[in-house]
Amino acid sequence: MQITKRLTFTTLVALAVIAIACGSTSGSESVTGAPANDDPPDDPSDQLDPRVLNSDWRTDFSIHSVPLGDFLSGGPRKDGIRSLENPPFISIEEGNESFVDNEPVIAIEINGDARAYPLGILTQHEIANDVIGGVPVAVTFCPLCNSAIVFARELDGVVYEFGVSGVLRNSDLVMFDRQTESWWQQFTGEAIVGELTGSLLDIVASSTVSWADFKETFPDGQVMSTETGFGRIYGFNPYIGYDSNESPFLFRGEPDTRLSPIERVSAVDLNGDAVAYPFSLLEEERVIHDTVGGEEIVVFFQFGTASALDAGQISDGRDVGAVGVFRPVANGQTLTFSPDGDDIIDDQTGSRWNILGRAMDGELAGAQLELVVHADHFWFAWAAFKPDTRIHGR
């Protein structure tokens, strides 16, 4: 019975991925490609699965930093899941007509330009190429790893545009740039196949929070519109129940058994020191002060954000909460924080702080903590790429 349930669920996820691809494809068919190097490698693990080459690739497959056998086809062809380019935005007031308060969004603020990218849209596109505060960025979301990561997409003076390859590695989205068609690992922002192999994109600090949290912090902000030009119905979850399943889709590695594979963690990697904070622990503690890589940080947890990978309608998803990670300094003063009912307050002034690190009431009202780059992912995926991670509280 257990096997039957897992097979059924895996089939459903596969069908969901294909359905998104069919709805997002441009309609053009491409010819199967072949590696640039026609001589088969001696090591079978270094050969591409023919199913990965289901598109006409210009990629130089003779250059790669990981075994080519690591890559699996997720089902769709190149661009089968279509990325967004310079998507339209609307005001908070207009956004209230499309989004419910508990819906998860990726919140980003650069040079005073605050924008929200709803996962109800990104689940079906996975990448949005945009410019925020004058900085070209790629806003990415891999549903299979629950990984929302934002990259600065300018490298050595070139602004790259990214698309969805249809290929997975460790169950994670593999992106490609349209200029050289090099392949990039979404989890790390590193080019791992092709001309740009070894190049690394800078990660832009962001948070996955509720629409209500974003509005409270950035009342003059903007939100990505559902009028993307693709004629899609957004706000639903094609991966129903995925974050309750113990078998990650198309993951062939050995899961790190210190935590359940689909346990949500908020992970921080500073100066080579990687620490994971399980959501189950954060739900109890609400505030954690810690030192990572020699730097002081504080981790906030707050309920009120729905899972994007639970119910069919995302706004009906169970409350999994949201996390913020910050340097605990405001206005030159080092602070300590404590939970106070549903709120988070600092012990020095009693000011109330929200999940995005903004003081909303009290003596420090309006002050902003510096956001630390953190990753709110499924444990199996983070551990696959960062196996030396220590788990806080273990």
* Residue 8 confidence class, pLDDT cut points 50, 70, 90: very low
Is the pTM of the predicted complex or chain greater than 0.75? yes
- Please tell me the total number of residues recorded for the chain in this structure: 394
State the average pLDDT for the chain: 91
Kindly report the backbone phi and psi dihedral angles of residue 99, in degrees, each rounded to the nearest multiple of 5, phi listed first.
-125, 145
pLDDT at 323 over 50: yes
Q: Of 11-20, 162-171, 206-215, 292-301, where does mean pLDDT reach its minimum? A: 11-20
Instruction: Tell me: do 167 and 263 sit in the same domain.
Output: no
Q: What is the Cα gyration radius of the chain? A: 21
Q: Which of 111, 104, 357, 345 is nearest to 234 (CA)?
A: 104
Quick one: average pLDDT of 68-90? 96
Report residue 134 as tokens: 């004058």
What's the pLDDT score for residue 20? 63
pLDDT tens for residues 90-106?
999 999 999 999 999 99
Instruction: Tell me: do 131 and 258 sit in the same domain.
Output: no
Domain hosting residue 245, numbered range: 1-252
Question: Which of 235, 252, 269 is the endpoint of a domain?
Answer: 252
Find the helix or strand (DSSP H, E) in which 340 lies: strand 337-340
Instruction: Tell me: do 265 and 138 sit in the same domain.
Output: no
Report the helix count and the strand count for the chain, using DSSP H and E: 6, 31
81 contact partners, CB below 8 Å, separation of at least 6: 17, 20, 21, 24, 124, 125, 126, 164, 166
CA distance 122 to 234: 9
Instruction: Tell me: do 314 and 245 sit in the same domain.
Output: no
Query: CATH number of the domain that 329 lies in?
Result: 2.102.10
Instruction: Tell me: do 270 and 371 sit in the same domain.
Output: yes
What's the pLDDT score for residue 236? 95
133 contact partners, CB below 8 Å, separation of at least 6: 109, 110, 111, 112, 113
Q: Euclidean distance between the first and final Cα of the chain, in Å?
A: 33
Question: Which of 252, 274, 306 is the endpoint of a domain?
Answer: 252
pLDDT tens for residues 360-376?
999 999 999 999 999 99
Instruction: Tell me: do 60 and 180 sit in the same domain.
Output: yes
Question: Which of 252, 282, 299 is the endpoint of a domain?
Answer: 252
- Torsion angle of alpha carbons 252, 318, 374, 122, nearest 10°? 70
Instruction: Tell me: do 11 and 137 sit in the same domain.
Output: yes
Instruction: Tell me: do 244 and 263 sit in the same domain.
Output: no
Instruction: Tell me: do 316 and 351 sit in the same domain.
Output: yes
194 contact partners, CB below 8 Å, separation of at least 6: 59, 60, 61, 63, 64, 176, 180, 181, 182, 183
Burial category of 80 from C-beta neighbours within 10 Å (exposed 0-12, middle 13-18, buried 19 and up): buried
Query: Which residues lie across from 149 on neighbouring strands?
Result: 140
Contact 213, 353 (CB under 8 A): no
Contact 185, 71 (CB under 8 A): no
